[in-house]
Amino acid sequence: MNSFIAVFKRELKNYFTTPVAYVFLVIFLFFSGYLTFKQGFYETRQADLSKFFMNLPLLFVFMVPSTAMRLWAEERKVGSIELLLTLPITIRQAVWGKFLAAWVFLTIALALTFPMVITVNILGDPDMGVIVSGYIGSWLMAGAFLAIGSFFSAVSKNQVISFVLSVVACGILVYAGMPTTLNYLASFLPMGLVQAIEGFSLKIHFESMQRGILTFSDFSYFVILIAGWVTACTVVLDERKAN
The per-residue DSSP string of 96-141 comes to: HHHHHHHHHHHHHHHHTTHHHHHHHHHHS---HHHHHHHHHHHHHH
Rounded Cα gap, residues 219 and 212, in angstroms: 13
The per-residue pLDDT string of the chain (243 residues; one tens digit each, 9 = 90 and over) reads: 677 788 888 888 888 888 888 888 999 999 888 887 776 665 666 667 888 888 899 899 999 998 888 887 766 666 666 666 666 778 888 889 899 999 999 999 999 999 888 888 887 788 888 899 999 999 999 999 999 999 998 888 788 899 999 999 999 888 887 878 878 778 877 888 878 887 888 888 898 898 888 888 889 999 999 999 999 999 988 876 655
Q: How many domains does the chain divide into?
A: 1
Residue 215 belongs to what domain range? Answer: 2-242
Backbone angles phi, psi at 190, to 5 degrees: -60, 145
Name the pTM for this structure. Answer: 0.90
